[in-house]
Amino acid sequence: MLTAGARYPGRAPIDAYGNGGFRFAGMSHRGSILCLPDAIEAWRPERLDDVSEADLARILAAREEIDFVLIGTGQRHLLPPNGVRDLIKAAGLGLEIMATGPAARTYNILLAEKRRVATALIAVDEPDAARSAP
């Protein structure tokens, strides 16, 4: 299980999501996650409104290794605050936004295609952890 500040080195598909967390690489994590080219990490925000500039720092630091950012916004598709969109755009990155379930499935497809993506997923409390592997 990942804890705050913990990270799984490398990339891995998301096996399941729901019940407030995610399963991947034979482990589970309760809370939101950030999937980067070099690791999967615990991510602080619990809601899209909680995302701050500091929460985007790891994505922005990896901008040379990624082409776009995929954000899973929770149970519903929501637009992130303008500041989030502005920071990602200023870094020269594309931005895709969708609910967490579709975002986890899309991440898995992009991972299989070896695409250069960073993915931030807000945890959802759906009671039945949905299988999301392609």
Residue burial 35-48, b: 16+ Cβ < 10 Å; e: rest: bbeebbbbbebeeb
Domain spans of the chain, in order of start: 7-125
Enter the tokens of residue 66. 């990624």
Check residue 118 and give its pLDDT: 97
What pLDDT score was predicted for residue 133? 43
- Tell me, which fold does domain 7-125 have in CATH? Hypothetical Protein Mth938; Chain: A, (3.40.1230)
Q: Would you state the pLDDT for residue 127? A: 56
Return the pLDDT at 3: 54
Blockwise average pLDDT, block size 10, the chain, 134 residues: 71 95 94 96 94 94 96 93 92 96 97 97 75 45
* Confidence (pLDDT) at 7: 84
